Amino acid sequence: MSAGAQVGAQVGAQLGAHAGWSQMLLGTLSWPELGALMLHFLMLSLLSIGGAITTAPDMHRYLVDERHWLTDQSFTSSIALAQAAPGPNILFVAVLGFNVSGLLGAMAAMAGILLPSTTLVVAATRWARNNREHLGVRAFTVGMAPLTLGLMIATGWLLAAPYLVDPSHRWATLAMIVATVVLTMRTKIGIVWLVLAGGVLGALGVV
């Protein structure tokens, strides 16, 4: 290879590496698209009763079905990875945003999901603390329980569906769901151990 060709190859490799870092930091979405991502998560923040994970079905609809920024598999894997990692439960939003458009995508998604809910929670907590015996407050608290349960079931179904429709994973997935429910209700095993067990079974190819 001539000296000119070697220099050209080195420059090409450097440009490729720079492009890779640039894509990871700045992502592939335009500023209007990042704004749309943040705005959608702002709206979801106001509906995240029981935690951001309960809005995962609509996140899936928006990111996968409507925008096609993620595939069904990458969406499910992002949530599974975030749930297995230590830290707050809401980290899955940052992982989804990062997989959509790098660090800027993660920042847009996290800002959207955190700003409204944090503001409302602080204000509502102060008000409810001073009016905890009020009939309306007690009724609201009781009424939120079945709603939160329904949202959690919908999220669980969304995450399990890709594996339940695949014949090679269906029965193992069903067995894990049943085992998780039974162990959670009948034993005092910590949730973290169940998550770790699921990760190990997945790594071994059982699921």
Model confidence pLDDT, tens digit, residues 110-140: 999 999 988 887 887 787 777 777 777 777 7
In a domain, 75, yes or no: yes
∠ CA 40-158-139, rounded to 5°: 70
* pLDDT at residue 21, as a whole number: 66
In a domain, 190, yes or no: no
pLDDT in tens, 8-35: 443 344 334 444 666 677 788 999 999 9
* pLDDT at residue 83, as a whole number: 78
Q: Is pLDDT of 3 > 50?
A: no
In a domain, 186, yes or no: no
pLDDT in tens, 75-116: 988 888 887 777 778 899 999 999 999 999 999 999 999 999
The tally of domains found in the chain comes to: 1
Q: Is pLDDT of 4 > 50?
A: no
**Average pLDDT rounded to a whole number, residues 45-72:** 90
d(CA 83, CA 57): 16
Q: Is pLDDT of 63 > 50?
A: yes
In a domain, 99, yes or no: yes
Site of tokens 């890709």? 162
In a domain, 60, yes or no: yes
* pLDDT at residue 15, as a whole number: 36
Task: Specify the higher pLDDT residue, 163 or 106.
Answer: 106
In a domain, 162, yes or no: no
Q: Which domain holds residue 110?
A: 24-143
In a domain, 74, yes or no: yes
In a domain, 5, yes or no: no
* pLDDT at residue 13, as a whole number: 41
Phi, then psi, of 88 in degrees rounded to 5: -60, 150
d(CA 51, CA 53): 5
d(CA 83, CA 192): 10
Rounded to two decimals, the pTM is 0.67
Q: What percent of the chain has pLDDT over 90?
A: 31
